[in-house]
Structure 1
Amino acid sequence: MTADSTRQPSVTTVPLYQHKAEFFKTLGHPVRIRVLELLSQREHTVAELLPEVGVEPAHLSQQLAILRRTGIVASRREGASVVYRLTSPEISELLTVARSILTALLTDRAGLLDDLRPEAAPTHDD
């Protein structure tokens, strides 16, 4: 076995669909989605995010680190605070599209459930 055959595939040799899958895996956590929703509105400090997200500080820090490592969010220090922001406005657009898709899916399911419910039994007012 040569040294070349044991190396991990480079970014350029990995198919785009695999990069997309990794991207969506990164988004696949409720805390990360909530953070991204909040950052879609404006930049936030960790102290501002904590009460809105409702998790322990260590857990929020872990999720922010994942988002930062993948390049979805960026941070900067302002005094004693760390301020987070989205790196791309398209993330906000993606969340809006996801909301539209979910709304349509849930509306369709609600309609299906209504169709499956038994009709009200006729009343006998005779």
Structure 2
Amino acid sequence: MNQHQNIHQFKADFFKALAHPMRIRILEVLSEGDRNVNELQSVLNSEGSAVSQQLSVLRNKNVVSSIKDGTSVIYSLRDPLIKELLAVAKQIFDNHLVDAISLLETIRNEQ
């Protein structure tokens, strides 16, 4: 594999790691600050096994890091730029939403 293929594979794997609603939500919560599993469960209103499973995927893909703190494990974003990536994704979503709304208004006005 050449360097370009490696970079493309890294990007594909990175976006696969993000391709789950709970993982996105976990990253949004971690964008606000480091949390342990219990805190994440509480914020996400989800059971521990589901949260732990998604954290494991994010950790294996090097998207989040974990540090043992006594009996709990603290999770954090591995790279603070992930917060910016999520913000850009939200802007793209918002732009599509604005386009869809204006299209609907145009259709409604034409009727």
- TM-score under structure 1 length normalisation: 0.80
**CA deviation string 1:48-103 (max 9, x = no partner):** 10021122211110100011111110111111111000110110010010011111
Pairing partner for 2:5 from 7, 14, 17? 14
Paired residues, number: 111
Q: Which amino acid aligns with 1:76?
A: I
1:93 is the counterpart of 2:110: no
Structure 1 unaligned residues grouped into runs of 5+: 1-8, 121-126
Report the structure, 1 or 2, having the larger helix content: 2
- Which structure would you say has the larger Rg? 1
Q: Which residue of 2 aligns with 1:123?
A: none
2:13, 2:61 within 8 Å by CA — same for their partners in 1? no
Distance 1:74 1:106 in 2: 33
1:69 is the counterpart of 2:60: yes
Structure 2 unaligned residues grouped into runs of 5+: none
Structure 1 outlier segments of 4+, above 3 Å: 11-15
Distance 2:91 2:12 in 1: 21
Distance 2:6 2:73 in 1: 35
Q: Which residue of 1 aligns with 2:51?
A: 60
Q: Which residue of 2 aligns with 1:38?
A: 29
Higher relative contact order (CA 8 A, sep 6+): 2
1:101-112 equivalences under 5 Å are: 101-112=92-103
CA RMSD across the alignment: 1.9
